Structure 1
Amino acid sequence: MSFSETLKEKAGKIWEECYKHPFLQELGMGTLEKEKFKFYLIQDYQYLMEYAKVFAAGMVKCNEEKYMAKFAEIQHNILCEEMNIHRKYMEDFGITEEEAANAGQSLFNKAYTSNMLSTAYTGTIAEIIAVVFPCAWSYHDFAKRLKQEYGNLPKNDFYNKWIDTYASDEFGESFSWFCDYLDVLCENKKQKELKKIEEIFRTSMEFEFLFWDMSYKMKMSY
């Protein structure tokens, strides 16, 4: 098992707690209250704006043209493709982009994105990949599993587009290079450095759980 693969294994408990969270399970069954999804949409809109900045920092710190292009490509996909899904859902709810932009981040959201940006500004490229990896990897894994578990839902179900997007091979391929690049970057790192990367990965996974929980309870703060 490669180093990058062990990250998921070591964060296995919180990973599974995320998947079992009522927000995701009810989304998969199509029973999630739309007001909860609306709350999630607005907060995720705010999140993605900050998330995109982390990839910009990765591109700035990277000196290899191949990976500079990959960081730039993901940033473009976030702002021009993933955000389009949010905009479509927001239209369904009658939410304008201005309303979403001015809604403000919840405490949980702000803590998560602040941690990512701090890592992006002060950390290594390996640490930047570790801090963003849980979001993309878990979304792809959870969406595929929801599709397998609840695939008998009507095709016009409100949440099918969300599940289909994140379960798609295209989405999985968009970040698959994280694994190989992180393994290369960590090949000669000392155990202390590897431990730090593991902690960064796990912390982001814990924030993922808090994000789902925040959305389900529609909480802006404690």
Structure 2
Amino acid sequence: MNFTDQLREENNDIFQLIFNHPFVQGIGTGEISKDALAHYIKADFEYLNAFMQIYGIALSKSKKRDDIAYFFDQINFILNDEIHPHHNFCNHIGVDYASLQGHPLPPTADHYIKHMMYHAQMGTSSEILGALLPCPWTYLEIGRELMEQYNPNKDHPFYDWISFYASGDVDNTTFELRKRLDILAENAAKDEKDLIREAFRKSCQLELKFWEMAYTCESWPNAEKVNS
């Protein structure tokens, strides 16, 4: 069993919680509140901006042209392709995409980005990959789970979202990240592998919390809200 297979097995509990989360299941049934969808898009737009920046850090630490080209292509994929699922949600709720951009991060999204930035700035290349991998991997499996569970057709309100994340493009992203991490892990000491495991586990947990953040429209506490 290679290293990323081990990571997937060790974190199956979190993956299953993600699949069963009411927001994720709501994508499958086509029933999610407009407020929750808008909250998700606001946070995910800023999250993906940070994800591209972390790919940029990974690129700067790369020594092989193949790796440089890979991270460059991944930035381009997020910038030009991963906006399509956002447009699906925006069209469903009848809100202009531009109006949901540039908003402050809710607590969970803020935490998630800083978690990844910490490993990007302070850790090894393998730690960066460990922190990044759960995002495409969980979304790939969400797409496949919802395809299998609900078998949506093109009339489904979130068909474009589901089919995008169940697609070969997201599969390729996950496969390539896994392949690179498996290669790095072959020569990693136990202490480094433990750090990768920690980074991967926390990212999985924060993926779950991200769905909960969107579902509950999480916001920062303030005196007005506490006293209301």
**Interval of TM-score (by shorter of Structure 1 and Structure 2):** over 0.9
Residue 215 of structure 1: aligned partner: 214
Residue 103 of structure 1: aligned partner: 103
Q: Does 1:192 align with 2:191?
A: yes
Shift of residue 35, structure 1, vs aligned partner: 2.4
Q: How does 1:134-149 map to 2 (within 5 A)?
A: 134-149=134-149
Counterpart-to-counterpart distance in 1, 2:110 and 2:159:
28
Instruction: Report SS of the residue matched to 2:81.
Output: helix
Counterpart-to-counterpart distance in 1, 2:101 and 2:120:
22
| Matching residue's letter, 1:186 | A
Q: TM-score, normalised by structure 1?
A: 0.93
Q: How does 1:32-43 map to 2 (within 5 A)?
A: 32-43=32-43
Counterpart-to-counterpart distance in 2, 1:96 and 1:8:
34
Given that residues 42 and 102 in structure 2 are in contact (C-alpha distance below 8 angstroms), is that contact kept between their aligned partners in structure 1?
A: no
Counterpart-to-counterpart distance in 2, 1:168 and 1:26:
20
| Matching residue's letter, 1:140 | L
Greater CA drift, 86-95 or 176-185: 86-95
| Matching residue's letter, 1:183 | D
Q: Which runs of 5+ in 2 are unaligned?
A: 222-228
What is the count of residue pairs matched by the alignment? Answer: 220
Residue 70 of structure 1: aligned partner: 70
Q: Considering only aligned residues, what root-mean-square deviation do their CA atoms show, in Å? A: 1.5
Shift of residue 114, structure 1, vs aligned partner: 1.0
Greater CA drift, 87-96 or 108-117: 87-96
Residue 86 of structure 2: aligned partner: 86
- Give the percent of matched residue pairs that are identical in Structure 1 and Structure 2: 26
| Matching residue's letter, 2:115 | N
Given that residues 42 and 103 in structure 1 are in contact (C-alpha distance below 8 angstroms), is that contact kept between their aligned partners in structure 2?
A: yes
Shift of residue 64, structure 1, vs aligned partner: 0.6
Counterpart-to-counterpart distance in 2, 1:91 and 1:149:
24
Q: Deviations over 1:160-218 (max 9, x none)?
A: 11100000112211331112211111112121211111010000001001100011111
| Matching residue's letter, 2:82 | E
Greater CA drift, 176-185 or 56-65: 176-185
Residue 176 of structure 1: aligned partner: 175
Shift of residue 83, structure 1, vs aligned partner: 2.1
Greater CA drift, 64-73 or 175-184: 175-184
Counterpart-to-counterpart distance in 2, 1:83 and 1:155:
19
